[in-house]
Amino acid sequence: MKNIEVKVSADGSSTLYRPDLNEHYHSMNGAVQESLHVFIDAGLKMVCKNDIHILEIGFGTGLNALLTLTHKAERVIHYHTLEKFPVPNDLLAVINYPSVVPHPSAGEWFGQIHTADWNREVKIANGFYLTKMEADLLMFSVDSTYDLVYFDAFAPEKQPEMWSESVFQMLFKAMRNGAILTTYCAKGVVRRFMQSAGFKVERLQGPPGKREMLRAMKV
């Protein structure tokens, strides 16, 4: 986690770059655009419930959590997120989401999301309960039942162990019937692993710069 660099993506929003993996945390075609397209529009907005339990794989900069909070409307959200390597505070301090996410409370909420204690539930705002877990998915026991999974690990080429059939089997068991898993990845091998785990999988139009993405449902 050394020498991480802050970059500005094409839509003006921040992302991070890890030289050790030669990988960005978000698309350089637009970090906020990508998260809105993949996780909010294709995920959160598809869940027709007033009380939603979300699991995020890869907390990273906290962008998905912030966008979920700003788009939750009147619903109650219990947001659980896993991160093996939390981003250092000095980098979080220069990420510009509070100025580019169009919500009057974005700055306040972004700060609260990152100052919240790890490994316990914290109320960030009315109807939004955050549990940040400093954990490795491969060593973690997922024992809750989720309505929505944001699968936002680094790309399969960088972290192939995170995209295995056994991982998707574990997530399938942790989800309710009708629950959705959404990810930016559209690789055929990932789709086949999801299908083997029991998911019904569809290809969707990808965010700017990507032709396709995947959305899976437990049916």
Please provide residue 46's backbone torsions phi and psi, each rounded to the nearest 5 degrees.
-90, -10
pLDDT (tens digit, 9 = 90+) per residue, 7-17?
999 999 999 99
Spatial strand order in the sheet of 76-82:
121-125, 128-133, 76-82, 51-57, 146-151, 175-183, 212-217, 200-205
pLDDT (tens digit, 9 = 90+) per residue, 168-191?
999 999 999 999 999 999 999 999
Angle at 152 between CA 10 and CA 182, to 5 degrees: 100
Q: Is the pLDDT of residue 1 over 70?
A: no
Please provide residue 111's backbone torsions phi and psi, each rounded to the nearest 5 degrees.
-65, -45
Q: How many CB atoms lie within 10 A of CB 219?
A: 9
8 bridge partner residues: 14
Whole-angstrom Cα distance, residue 170 to residue 92?
Answer: 31
Question: What is residue 126's three-state secondary structure?
Answer: coil
pLDDT (tens digit, 9 = 90+) per residue, 78-120?
999 999 999 999 999 999 999 999 999 999 999 999 999 999 9
CB 201 within 8 Å of CB 194: yes
The alpha-helical segments, DSSP class H, found in 37-164 are 63-70, 89-92, 97-100, 106-115
Q: What per-residue confidence (pLDDT) applies to 142?
A: 80
Alpha carbons within 13 angstroms on the beta-carbon side of residue 60 total 27
Q: What per-residue confidence (pLDDT) applies to 2?
A: 67
Whole-angstrom Cα distance, residue 79 to residue 96?
Answer: 22
Domains and CATH numbers, the chain: 32-217 (3.40.50.150)
Q: Is the pLDDT of residue 139 over 90?
A: no
Has this prediction a pTM greater than 0.85? yes
